[in-house]
Chain A
């Protein structure tokens, strides 16, 4: 029963990993950018939520009303101010600029918030659970996290394939030059994509802060989880990121069941196995 429990809890945590991954997948899909600072931005959102909760006494989830638009605005500005200038044929500038950004964010958070680990308290949300089977309890928070992940991915999927913004994303990704002939300013389209990505990052950051302790140096680890979920699921497939996140969560859960020291290792090894045997991921994007 412990094993089954580990799997169930792993699936639920997978939702959080899918949230880490969805934003990465989105901006890679639109502008082929891999943001090394993605994880640090998640942690930035956690700290923002923490600061807001401590200043206003809002419930952590209510802080989303402020954190989401704040992060989205930051994403828009970041893309227009810095990242747009790095895009081109050469992969080095975006990579190295976001790497620098990652270091700045980590040390900025360290400077302002110290290295002490923090956590958001969501009250009964965290403590409530209900039994699914004898011996297996589902926590309300993990369930909410998973449902939110599904909702976010469904929402992104809808936006991508059913709205004019999504059409602009796809057209710009297909052929930047011709998209400009349709009156689309690709720099603005990219900025909207980054804004959307950081809105998702904001939600992920708040859930992360409720679920566990966080400190300024947790970003790279979250980047890696998100990245692994993207690759396991298959590049460019939003629902694939959910599957990837779940597989990663279950692998970690089972690893931890064997020995707590194997938790992260089991996730990484699963990723490497997928890379070895299914290098395009489980659900590669079918090109038209």
Chain B
């Protein structure tokens, strides 16, 4: 079968944390180069969906196909080798590793591609000045850069960005979002979780609105009015 440009195909995904069901049958399709925004209120299941894709949530049924391969049961360490990277909510850098060690570890899977230490430092010049510093000594925005850089180092074909703006100053958020097109320029796909709906819709070609573990609305930002989106968001 020739590789279609439908890279990620999720069908009827149900995810659980112990006895608690967080996703109730989510489906989505992502093509090469797509940037999809995932919006929805707290607890709608956005982070769970990202974690299910990259393998951090293992209790799940349904199907997740990546480039024609069923990755539903794969452990996280195998999924990253196939080109899906996550920038986790809250950044979660390794505190006992320096900035550069965090980045190098991100590149451990050694996939070929444009991203390397030097290109990450090119994207975020401030990091090269701080490369020997402990990752926890950086400001929030710089830590977010390390987290993005760490994900890029694996040269993913799909990058999952979870709440990039959480806890950051508006000016820093603006800077980071301005860099996003440079990241996706090479044809990398992205799924973006963002609280700020305007920003989320501005950065994406498609959006998916989630509510209580289900998809409540999806399409292109142009295709719906704010009221329609707001209804899907709050469930009114």
Contacts and interface: CB of A to CB of B under 8 A. Distances in A.
Interface of A: 164, 167-168, 170-171, 173-175, 177-186, 287-288
6 contacts: A180-B80, A182-B77, A182-B108, A182-B150, A184-B77, A288-B134
B205 interface: no
B85 interface: yes
Contacts of B150: 182
Contact of A181 (B85, B101, B136): B85
Contacts, number: 70
A186 B154 CA distance: 18
B56 interface: yes
Contacts of B55: 180
Given A167-B104, A171-B97, A288-B136, A181 B88 contact: yes
Most buried by B among A175, A182, A288: A182
Contact of A173 (B75, B76, B81, B96): B96
Interface residues of B, number: 27
Binding site secondary structure of chain A: helix
Contact of A178 (B88, B96, B136, B137): B88
Contacts of A179: 94, 105
A174 B97 CA distance: 9
Contacts of A182: 77, 80, 105-106, 108-109, 150, 154
Interface string B64-84: 000000000001110011000
A181 B54 CA distance: 8
Nearest to B105: A182
Contacts of A167: 97, 101, 104-105
Interface string B181-203: 00000000000000000000000
Interface string B158-186: 00000000000000000000000000000
The 3 closest A-B pairs by CB, nearest first: A183-B109, A180-B76, A174-B94
Contacts of B95: 174, 287-288
Contacts of A183: 77, 80-81, 108-109, 154
A118 B108 CA distance: 47
Given A174-B97, A179-B94, A180-B80, 13 more contacts: A164-B104, A168-B105, A171-B105, A173-B96, A174-B96, A177-B92, A180-B75, A181-B77, A181-B85, A182-B109, A183-B80, A184-B108, A288-B96
B208 interface: no
B8 interface: no
A135 B29 CA distance: 83
Interface in B44-58: 54-56
A180 B94 contact: no
Contacts of A177: 56, 76, 92
B120 interface: no
B77 A180 contact: yes
B136 to A, nearest CB: 5
B217 to A, nearest CB: 29
B85 A171 contact: no
A168 B105 CA distance: 8
